[in-house]
Amino acid sequence: MPSESSSLLLLSPSIRDWVVFPLLIITFLTGLLRTVTSILLRSSKKIPADDRRVRGVLMRCGRLRNAGGFLSKDRWEARRKYWTNSDPEGPLRPKSPYLPKDGAKAAAANNPMANPAGAMEGMMGNASFMVQNMVMMQTIQHFFSGFVLLKVPFPLTKGFKGMFQRGVDLPTLDVSYVSSVSWYFLVMYGMRGVLRLIIGDPSPDEKQSQQIQSELGNAPGVPPPVKGKDAFKQECDNLEIAKYSGVLARSEKELLGGRYPKATKRAGKKGKNRGDDIFGQMGGDRKKGQAKKLQ
Amino acid sequence: MKPRAELQYLRQQKLRDPALVLSLSLPLIPSLSPKKESDLAIFEQLIVAGCDLGEFEVVKQCLGLLKEQFGAIVKTVLPAEPGKEPKVKVEGSSRVGILEGKFLEAQGDYSGATELYNLLLTQNPANVLASKRLCAIQKAIGTPAEAVKSLLSYLDSNPTDVAGWWELAELYLSQGHWQGAATAFEEVVLFDPLSHEVHTKLGECYYGMAASSKDGVCKDFSGEGMMAMARRHFAEALNLKRGNLRALMGLRMASRETALRPANVNDKKDVALVDGSVADIEVAQKLHEFACEEIERVTKGKYGKLGLGLKEIGRTEGEEILAAMASKGE
């Protein structure tokens, strides 16, 4: 107890009025500014058609692996054979017709360094955030460094010291005191929800408009192109080792529930040799059925 | 503001009621301006509705305003370098371009619309709307085979468009091409396995394949017969939505084929086992029974008074089954 009382600090009300609240307001306003600038900086780009096609093919293969159980085994196998055709011009092989025709251009697109405009695009959004953050932190460290602004009303472990007391290196200071830079960070990350409340989600009209734009082949941010050949090779490997597991066979059982016919020995009666192993399986199934009844 | 709110509702719910849209938006025209962002959606709605109803004067007027504001699709041929093909540069708003294309289509100028959509595609090859419209034109003026061809080339570059696969399947169905339809519906199932509609459709395709083959046990895909697959898809559809009448009818018909077949002990397919324990034919009989009862139950409330006689059909089917079982000596 003595250690706690000794670390009790009296914070001046002026700190509250001239540091805590101003920081809160400044952070809020810069957050607003940032959202607005990000909307202004957002530019509409053409979606590369080749890339979309490659993605679509990959998605189809992925669906075949994930939802393939809804097809019958033969149909599934036929599709798998088509995709994993080992011919060099097979759909997932290096000379696939699904890959962009001009290899040189594709290679350039795959290498972000060869396309500085594309790299810039991604940086623009982050840059505004970083610039603002750096300026704010410099300002705060310049004006308010070393301030202890407030005390959170609950005890915290030592681990939070770095998070709550950045810029104040006092080993004996209780962890529940918050320094100015830390206050800025806490507010900045906590502000997102508030900002979303104030700015609001995009209106349905805006959403619809965005959807039409994407159908027209424009999108605000174009994801970096997939490396077609590599992705195809991996997908091909995945498909080659994929195993069929039918999920449709149970649908009749599920539908009929208790009415589903019980296992019979009928099949075992014919062709003794062939029936025996089936009979063995049947025995297992019957036991299962009995166990169910007991439950 | 009230008509605007109503128009917005129609837009958001994607309801296509051109008469209502026109009656709501025509009085608004004098107050609409293409410079106001909030009015653009109304212009679009108005133009499409006008095309639907053949109100070409209004459409022309609105399109003119939009073109003035955003620029119509213009083709300029750049001076060709020696030995190379001249490059074509297309400028203008693609969104207005699509509207203009729809206007041309509505007037029946399909060649003009095709040209315009092709221009849009040279401007941006990823323009899905333009390539969809091209398919629609093919469907409107071309033979079914041409429509299928254009849809296939569309799906080749947009393989994840589920609605496109569905459309392809319907096109195949309209030509009685069960196998093509089944393949396309399978693609839809892969993308949307929890939709009971597509399971019903796929079941119908398999049933069609099986029923149109010689004896109803088309086994050109080794292993499970098509009829059993049809049954399973109908069953899956019913698992996803109880009382799906179409699936129930399908299930009844598909299971009947197997259930009513006189069991032949020497025939391999009659001792074919499901899950290694239950005979296929028994499952089919139970399913048939179930389907008949369910149809009776579902239709009793809804259609019973209409006297469609489904109940009687169900009864006779059941009696048939009983008779078949009796003749088998079970």
> Residue B166 above 90 pLDDT?
yes
- pLDDT at A220 exceeding the cut of 80: no
Higher pLDDT, A216 or B318: A216
Average pLDDT of span A123-127: 69
> Which residues in chain A touch residue B290, judged by CB atoms under 8 angstroms apart?
255-256, 259
Query: Residue A219's closest chain B neighbor by CA?
Result: B126
pLDDT top residue among A16 and A129:
A16
Chain A residue numbers touching B239 (CB-CB < 8 A): 251, 254-255
Rounded to the nearest angstrom, the minimum Cα separation between A45 and chain B is: 10
Which tops the pLDDT comparison, A260 or A293? A260
Whole-number pLDDT of residue B88: 78
- Bigger pLDDT: A262 vs B95: B95
Average pLDDT, chain A: 76
The SS3 assignment for B88 reads strand
Q: Which of A188-197, B265-274, B294-303 has the lowest mean pLDDT?
A: B265-274
The rounded Cα B299 to chain-centroid distance in angstroms is 26
Give B190's pLDDT tier (boundaries 50, 70, 90).
very high
Residue A276's pLDDT band, with cuts at 50, 70 and 90, is very low
Which tokens sit at A150? 């407030």
Compare A131 and A106 and report the one with higher pLDDT: A131
Min CA distance, B127 vs chain A (Å)? 4
Which residues of B fall within a CB distance of 8 Å from A281? Answer: 276-277
Give the nearest chain A residue to B158 (CA atoms): A53
**pLDDT for the residue A214:** 83
Conformation bin of residue B309: beta by default, left when phi > 0, alpha when psi is -120 to 50: left
Compare all CA atoms of chain A with the CA of B160 and give the residue at the minimum distance.
Answer: A56
Report whether pLDDT(A267) > 60: no
The answer to whether B238 faces chain A, any CB pair under 8 Å, is yes
Q: Which residue has the higher pLDDT, B293 or A292?
A: B293
Closest approach of A273 to chain B, Cα-based (Å): 15
List, for residues A25-66, the tens digit of each pLDDT value.
988 898 888 888 877 777 777 888 888 888 889 999 999 998
- How much is the average pLDDT of B57-67? 91
Please list every residue in chain A whose beta carbon sits closer than 8 Å to the beta carbon of residue B157: 49, 52-53, 56
Which of B35-39, B61-65, B287-291 has the least mean pLDDT?
B35-39
Rounded to an integer, the average pLDDT of B120-136 is 90
Q: Tell whether B191 is within 8 A of chain A (Cβ).
A: yes
Nearby residues of B101 by Cβ (< 8 Å), 6 or more positions away? B113, B116, B117, B120, B130, B133
The answer on pLDDT for A279 being more than 80 is no
Closest Cβ opposite residue A67 in set B41, B193, B221: B193
Q: Which is more confident, A53 or B86? A: A53
Q: Which residues of A touch B133 (CB under 8 A)?
A: none
Note the pLDDT of residue B241: 87
Q: At residue B72, what are phi and psi to the nearest 5 degrees?
A: -80, 165
CB–CB contact B159 A205 (8 Å)? no
Question: A65: nearest CA in chain B?
Answer: B190
Going B153 to B159 to B163 to B165, the CA torsion angle's sign is: positive
Whether residue A5 is predicted with pLDDT greater than 50 in this model: the reply is no
Burial (Cβ within 10 Å: 0-12, 13-18, ≥19) of residue A114: exposed
- pLDDT 10s digits, A126-148: 777 788 888 888 888 888 887 88
pLDDT value of residue B46: 92
Residue of A49, A60, A267 with shortest CB distance to B160: A60
Which of B36, B122, B190 to substitute to test the interface with A, most A CBs within 10 Å? B190
Chain A residues whose CB is inside 8 A of the B94 CB are: 216-218
The beta-carbon neighbor of B265 closest among A72, A251, A270 is A270
B128 touches chain A (CB under 8 A): yes
Q: Which stretch, B32-36, B187-191, B210-214, has highest mean pLDDT?
A: B187-191
Stretch B181-196: mean pLDDT, rounded? 92
Largest CA distance in chain A: 97
Assign residue B164 a region (left: φ > 0; alpha: ψ between -120 and 50; beta: otherwise): alpha
The pLDDT, as a whole number, for residue A284 is 41
ipTM of the complex: 0.77
Residues A70, A93: Cα–Cα separation, whole Å: 26
In this structure, of A218-227, B39-48, B209-218, B304-313, the range with the lowest mean pLDDT score is B304-313
Q: Which residues of A touch B282 (CB under 8 A)?
A: 261, 264
Top mean-pLDDT range of A189-203, B120-134, B313-327: B120-134
At residue B293's C-alpha, the angle toward residues B286 and B185, to 5°, is 70
Mark yes or no for CB contact A48/B189 under 8 Å: no
- Which of B211, B327, B216, B306 shows the shortest CA–CA distance to B263? B327
DSSP assignment of B3-26, as one string?
Answer: HHHHHHHHHHTT---HHHHHHHHG
For the ranges A173-177, A285-289, B279-283, the one whose mean pLDDT is highest: A173-177
**Which is more confident, B315 or A11?**
A11
What is the C-alpha separation between A96 and A90, in angstroms, rounded? 5
The predicted structure's pLDDT at residue A163:
84
Q: Is the pLDDT of residue B330 over 50?
A: no
**What's the pLDDT at A151?**
86
Q: Does A52 contact B190 at a Cβ distance shorter than 8 Å?
A: no
Predicted pLDDT at B149: 92
What is the overall mean pLDDT for chain B? Answer: 81
Rounded to two decimals, what is the model's pTM?
0.74
Q: What is the pLDDT at residue A226?
A: 75
- Whether chain A has a CB inside 8 Å of the CB on B9: the answer is no
- In whole angstroms, give the CA distance from residue B159 to residue A97: 14
Higher pLDDT: A184 or B88? It is A184
Give contacts of A263 with chain B, Cβ < 8 Å.
Answer: 277-278
Q: Does B116 touch chain A (CB under 8 A)?
A: no
Q: Write b or e for each residue in B55-83: b if 16 or more Cβ atoms lie within 10 A of its Cβ, otherwise e.
A: beebbeebbebbbeeeebbeeeeeeeeee
Residue of A nearest to B224 (CA): A72
Q: Rounded CA gap, B276 and B281, in Å?
A: 13
Residue B191 with chain A: CB contacts under 8 Å: 63, 67
Band of pLDDT at residue A115, cut at 50, 70 and 90? low
| Distance (Å, whole) CA B130 – CA B137 | 11
Cα gap A106→A122, rounded to integer Å: 19
pLDDT of A90: 80
CB A52 to CB B126 under 8 A?
Answer: yes
